[in-house]
Amino acid sequence: MMIADAIFHLSTILALCIVVYLGYSILSSSESLSRSMYAYKLSLLINATVEGLSEGERVTIYSPLPVPIENGRIGEWTTPVRGNITATVIRLVRRGDLVEVSP
């Protein structure tokens, strides 16, 4: 009986480890996808906002998460802005044909 109990408990522990491993991999990939989708939606917002800006006009976008913008790139997506920031408050200023981003 002791060998059967040991095998049962070891298989239960092994099954629990597999469930934890699979759950962690699903959770980490969904978090990565969530951040990627957030960056995508923010880049769409910035692109639409830039299209409506007039010369010298300023717009402030408030973000609940800090967003890194590096030379117009937010994650995988591009925007027509110039400058580098990582902030929750994004200010867009149109100067001629360029739109600059500032914290």
pLDDT tens across 1-27, in order?
688 888 888 888 888 888 888 777 777
Amino acid at 38: Y
Which helix (DSSP H) or strand (DSSP E) does residue 80 occupy? none
Report pLDDT digits (tens) over 27-53: 777 777 788 888 898 889 888 888 888
Burial-class residue 91 by CB neighbours within 10 Å (0-12, 13-18, 19+): middle
Mean predicted confidence (pLDDT) in 55-74: 87
Positive or negative: CA dihedral 96, 84, 67, 63: negative
Rounded to 5 degrees, φ, ψ at 81 are -105, 160
Q: Which two tokens stand for residue 89?
A: 């408050």
Residue 29 CB: number of other CB atoms within 10 A?
A: 10
What pLDDT, on a 0 to 100 scale, did the predictor assign at position 1?
63
Q: What angle do CA 79, 82, 84 make, to 5 degrees?
A: 100
**CA–CA gap between residue 78 and residue 43 (Å, rounded):** 7
